[in-house]
Amino acid sequence: LLKEPRHAVISRKDADSEQIYKVLKQIPDSDLFSSAAFGGKDLMFSDSITDLMELPKIMDSFLYLREDYYEAMRALRAGNPPAPPQDGKIEWCTVGHAEQQKCDSLQIPHMECRRASSVEECIQKIMRKEADALAVDGGQV
């Protein structure tokens, strides 16, 4: 069974995604998501799509499609490479200079501190496997 999201409009990072979204939203859904008039199926968009949804600015293709999708694509391209070795090291994500200083001063064996500018950036790092953990207030979850 397919578990990954199947449909996404992905643009270059330097493209104006808001403008792309506005232009696509001007087209009636019946014209945008139907291929019957052109003698085909799933032309440009899947015929089963019913609506476009604009994603938050911080969400990129990796975050939307999820790690499982990228891992599956990587395995297909590389012929199922072995999993990377686990060295037991923890990459702790800190937010800001003060947290980074505190983390560095703890000098915990097998833990390295990785600085980010925001909780959202730390979450992205965790999803990309660039960090393993962070501490947040309950209101930030």
For 76-117, write each residue's pLDDT tens digit.
777 755 455 456 788 888 888 888 888 888 888 888 999 999
CA nearest to 9, candidates 30, 33, 31:
33
Q: Which of 117, 16, 5, 15 is nearest to 61 (CA)?
A: 5
Length of the chain: 141
- Distance (Å, whole) CA 139 – CA 91: 23
Q: 71-79 long-range contacts, Cβ below 8 Å, gap at least 24?
A: 72/4
Residue 33: closest CA among 17, 20, 44: 44
Predicted local distance difference test score (pLDDT) of residue 85: 47
pLDDT of the residue at 14: 60
Residue 98 or residue 56, greater confidence: 98
With b for 16 or more beta-carbon neighbours within 10 A and e for fewer, the 83-100 pattern comes to eeeeeeeebbbbbeeebb
Could you count the other beta carbons within 10 Å of the beta carbon of residue 120? 15
At 29, list the tokens.
């859904």
Question: Residue 126: what pLDDT?
Answer: 83
Q: What is the set of domains in the chain, with CATH numbers? A: 17-78 (no CATH), 85-140 (3.40.190.10)
Contact criterion met (CB below 8 Å) for 81 and 75: yes
- Average model confidence (pLDDT) across the chain: 75
pTM: predicted TM-score of the whole model, two decimal places: 0.45
Query: Is the confidence at residue 20, as pLDDT, over 70?
Result: yes
pLDDT category at 1 given cuts 50, 70, 90 is very low
Residue 115: how many CB atoms within 10 A of its CB?
Answer: 19
The Cα 124–Cα 92 span in angstroms is 13
As a whole-number percent, the residues of the chain with pLDDT over 70 amount to: 76
Residue 57 pLDDT grade (very low, low, confident, very high; cuts 50, 70, 90): confident
Contact 85, 52 (CB under 8 A): no
**pLDDT surpasses 60 at 26:** yes
pLDDT band at 119 (very low <50, low <70, confident <90, very high): confident
